[in-house]
């Protein structure tokens, strides 16, 4: 059956427009403007989504430093092992200041040299949030005269507001994920293991031209927000909770669906409908200028009014209502109590106020949304009903 399904699939990647060099340069100019406002002389990045966001360079992390320094004034500079210089230069979209170190030399001295050459004798250096401690520690020992601070005031405002090009890539990732779900749902069968379901999803995504995965839980395992370690096989009447993603040019999708394998019980239908109501309340609350925490509060009120919770207690909603999404599947900002950051056009979030009933089952409906000038817009249409996971 899987082979027949795969034979009918074609890649959905035609016509994808990658992020342009001009857009990445614009991101760096925005970062420089924020550095000037925040009194940060330079930002240090190592491989990961932050480096890719600004430079387009994808690199594997290891114990060997490969990094970039974006100064508030002056050209970007890179540091890498000498034997990797040619490979790095192949990847560079802009900037040609590449400083290399041999295996018996210190890369930290090179970073300190970049600061010196960019005229940074005093001041603050921003360290991107995912930089590993040993790199930060090595740099500060070579430049003890500088102050090291978080680069969050620079990097987060840049990345949190998505451009039309970013939103288009995320939309394609969401569309592909919907198609993958439809195929995988058609392959559900009694006795199926969770591993078989996931393996099917890997194959379906490859046939659609991307890397991705859909995980699943059956029955009582659905009450674990991120799954139980206990293996399970699908049987009639089980709640099936699925969580799937893929990436397109580095940008993520994130979609969850909950169905029942067979005829839903009145209890299953009641909880599913309540979850749908909570998701709709979060969406309605997600207006421009509204603090992030109010979106969480709107979803949570639906559940507490129905007798769940309160707060993060279960039975109820044990986690935030949503997370930011982009080049990381979870990134700033979060729809959670205490986050007073106002929603702004271009921000993108998951909307997933899960209901957990320990020992019984759980229901999560997750669709991502982008905030527009006119309010929120879903990337994917929410489930119409427990029997119909996709519109």
CATH number at residue 253: 3.90.230.10
Are residues 366 and 328 part of one domain? yes
Are residues 225 and 200 part of one domain? yes
Domain membership of residue 2 (yes or no) is no
- pLDDT computed for residue 15 by the predictor: 97
Q: What contacts 24+ positions apart, CB below 8 Å, involve 183-187?
A: 183/5, 183/9, 184/214, 184/242, 185/257, 185/259, 185/389, 186/5, 187/1, 187/2, 187/5
Domain that holds residue 54: 21-160
Are residues 360 and 242 part of one domain? yes
305: number of CA atoms within 13 Å, CB side?
A: 11
Are residues 116 and 39 part of one domain? yes
User: Do residues 353 and 300 touch, judged by C-beta distance below 8 A?
Assistant: yes
* Tokens 């007073």 found at: 340
Partners of 342 in the beta sheet?
291
- How far CA 350 is from CA of 26, 77, 260, 324, 382, in Å, comes to 26, 35, 23, 6, 12
Domain boundary at 93, 128, 160, which?
160
CATH number of the domain where residue 117 is located? 3.40.350.10
Give how far the C-alpha of residue 106 lies from the chain's centroid of Cα atoms, to the nearest Å.
34
- How far CA 100 is from CA of 82, 135, 137, 323, in Å, comes to 5, 16, 19, 38
Domain membership of residue 217 (yes or no) is yes
Local mean pLDDT, 10-residue blocks, the chain (391 residues) = 95 98 98 98 98 98 98 98 98 97 98 98 97 98 98 98 98 98 98 98 98 97 93 97 98 98 98 98 98 98 98 98 98 98 98 98 98 98 98 91
Domain membership of residue 385 (yes or no) is no
Number of residues written out for the chain: 391
Are residues 153 and 35 part of one domain? yes
Domain membership of residue 388 (yes or no) is no
Are residues 226 and 338 part of one domain? yes
Tokens representing residue 365 in the block: 């409906």
Domain membership of residue 6 (yes or no) is no
Residue 311 φ/ψ, nearest 5 degrees? 60, -130
Are residues 329 and 183 part of one domain? yes
Are residues 364 and 238 part of one domain? yes
- pLDDT computed for residue 81 by the predictor: 98
Nearest Cα to 286, choosing from 259, 253, 322?
Answer: 322
Domain membership of residue 12 (yes or no) is no
Q: What contacts 24+ positions apart, CB below 8 Å, involve 102-109?
A: 106/138, 106/142, 107/64, 107/65, 107/67, 107/79, 107/81, 107/138, 108/65, 108/138, 108/139, 108/141, 108/142, 109/142
Domain membership of residue 55 (yes or no) is yes
| Cis geometry, peptide bond prior to residue 122 (ω within 30 degrees of 0) | no
Close Cβ partners of 260 (under 8 Å, ≥ 6 residues apart): 237, 238, 239, 240, 268, 386
Are residues 141 and 212 part of one domain? no
**How many domains, in total, are found in the chain?**
2
User: Do residues 236 and 262 touch, judged by C-beta distance below 8 A?
Assistant: yes
Are residues 355 and 302 part of one domain? yes
Are residues 271 and 126 part of one domain? no
Domain boundary at 111, 136, 160, which?
160
Domain membership of residue 361 (yes or no) is yes
Give how far the C-alpha of residue 100 lies from the chain's centroid of Cα atoms, to the nearest Å.
32
Are residues 155 and 172 part of one domain? no
3-state secondary structure the chain: CHHHHHHCCCCCCCCCCCCCHHHHHHHHHHHHHHHHHHCCCEEEECCCHHHHHHHCCCCCCCCCCCEEEEECCCCCEEEEEHHHHHHHHHHCCCCCEEEEECCCCCHHHHHHHHHHHCCCCCCEEEECCCCCHHHHHHHHHHCCCCEEEECHHHHHHHHHCCCHHHHHHHHHHHHHHHHHHHHHHHCCCCCCEHHHHHHHHHHHHHHCCCCEEEEEEEHHHHHCCCCCCCCCECCCCCEEEEEEEEEECCEECCEEEEEECCCCCHHHHHHHHHHHHHHHHHHHHCCCCCEHHHHHHHHHHHHHHCCCCCCCCCCECCCCCEEECCCCCCEEEEECCCCCCECCCCCEEEECCCEEECCCEEECCEEEEEEECCEEEECCCCCCCCCCCCC
Domain boundary at 121, 142, 160, which?
160
Partners of 125 in the beta sheet?
42, 148
Tokens representing residue 101 in the block: 């170190």
């Amino acid at each position: 059956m899987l082979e027949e399904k795969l034979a009918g699939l074609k890649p959905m990647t035609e016509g994808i427009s990658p992020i342009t060099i001009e857009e990445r340069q614009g991101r760096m100019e925005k970062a420089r403007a924020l550095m000037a406002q925040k009194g940060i002389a330079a930002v240090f990045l190592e491989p990961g989504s932050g480096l890719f966001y600004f430079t387009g360079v994808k690199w594997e992390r290891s114990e060997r430093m490969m990094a970039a320094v974006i100064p508030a004034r002056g050209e970007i500079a890179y540091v890498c092992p000498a034997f990797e210089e040619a490979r790095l230069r192949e990847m560079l979209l802009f900037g040609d200041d590449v400083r290399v170190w041999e295996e018996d030399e210190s890369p930290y001295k090179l970073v300190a040299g970049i600061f010196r050459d960019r005229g940074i004798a005093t001041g603050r250096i921003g360290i991107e949030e995912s930089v590993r401690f040993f790199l930060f520690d090595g740099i500060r020992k070579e430049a003890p005269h500088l102050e090291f601070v978080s680069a969050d005031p620079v990097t987060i405002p840049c990345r949190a507001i998505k451009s039309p090009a970013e939103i288009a890539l995320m939309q394609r990732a969401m569309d592909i994920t919907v198609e993958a779900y439809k195929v995988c749902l058609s392959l559900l069968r009694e006795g199926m293991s969770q591993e078989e379901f996931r393996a099917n999803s890997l194959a379906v995504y490859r046939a659609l031209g991307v890397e991705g995965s859909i995980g699943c839980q059956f029955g009582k395992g659905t009450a674990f927000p991120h799954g139980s370690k206990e293996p399970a096989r699908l049987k009639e009447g089980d709640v099936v909770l699925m969580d799937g993603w893929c990436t397109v040019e580095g940008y993520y999708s994130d979609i969850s669906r909950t169905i029942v394998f067979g005829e839903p019980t009145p209890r299953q239908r009641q909880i599913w409908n309540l979850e749908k109501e909570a998701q709709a309340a979060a969406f309605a609350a997600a207006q421009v200028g509204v603090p992030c925490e109010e979106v969480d509060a709107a979803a949570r009120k639906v559940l507490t009014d129905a007798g769940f919770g309160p707060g993060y207690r279960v039975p109820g909603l044990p986690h935030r209502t949503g997370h930011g999404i982009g080049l990381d599947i979870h990134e700033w900002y979060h729809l959670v109590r205490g986050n007073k950051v106002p929603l702004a056009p271009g921000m993108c979030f998951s909307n997933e106020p899960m209901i957990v009933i320990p020992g019984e089952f759980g229901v999560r409906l997750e669709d991502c949304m982008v905030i527009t000038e006119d309010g929120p817009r879903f990337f994917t249409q929410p489930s119409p009903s427990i029997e119909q996971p996709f519109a």
